Amino acid sequence: MLSRLETGAVSPSLETIAAVAVALGADLPTLFRGLQAQPSDAQLVRKGEGLEVVRRGTKRGHTYHLLASDRGPRKTFEPFLVTLNDKSEIFPDFEHPGTEMIHMLEGSLRYRHGSESYLLKPGDTLTFSGEVPHGPQSLIKLPIRFLSVIVYGEGDQAIK
């Protein structure tokens, strides 16, 4: 149903839109923010205004703020500001289509990709295939903030 909403294949009722807002943890005005804006090839997301979204790592204490959104039927990239505030002993493995880039802004962590492990500190950038299992291995210095950008190829589908 969500993909049909995103592509404009269906016109949802207000009740459906409200249910989507609740599922996303957003209010109705947030869903409609920017719809009155004129079409443009540029998007500006002010500090603190990135839409907080729920992803697989959310239940492990990861906070994701979406910093831009593609308008149209297919996502080409997803930029997130990811924040880790709490130490966790269990980290999920992530696997998804596309290429991911992580750029460390604050804190430090050990990040695994396949059988390799990388110590990441502020200013470091790690780029890798999202199809190989990856994720935090250990949180070293909290809080941790990093920019994560996932770029999808022609046949790739974004993970919701």
Please give the Cα distance from 53 to 43 (Å, whole number): 18
Q: 52, 63 in Cβ contact below 8 A?
A: yes
Q: 151, 77 in Cβ contact below 8 A?
A: yes
- Does the pLDDT at position 14 exceed 80? no
Residue 48 C-alpha from the chain's centroid: 15
Strands 125-129 and 116-120: unpaired
| H helix runs in the chain, sequence order | 2-7, 14-24, 28-32
pLDDT tens by residue, 85-110: 886 667 889 999 999 999 999 999 99
- So what's the architecture of 38-151 in CATH? Sandwich (2.60)
Cα(first)–Cα(last) distance of the chain, in Å? 12
For residues 34 and 132, the model is more confident at 132
Identify the residue whose tokens are 């470091």.
Answer: 124
Q: Which ranges in the chain are annotated with CATH 2.60.120.10?
A: 38-151
Residue 60: what pLDDT?
Answer: 60
Q: 109, 138 in Cβ contact below 8 A?
A: yes
For residues 31 and 96, the model is more confident at 96
pLDDT tens by residue, 62-88: 778 888 876 666 778 899 999 888 866
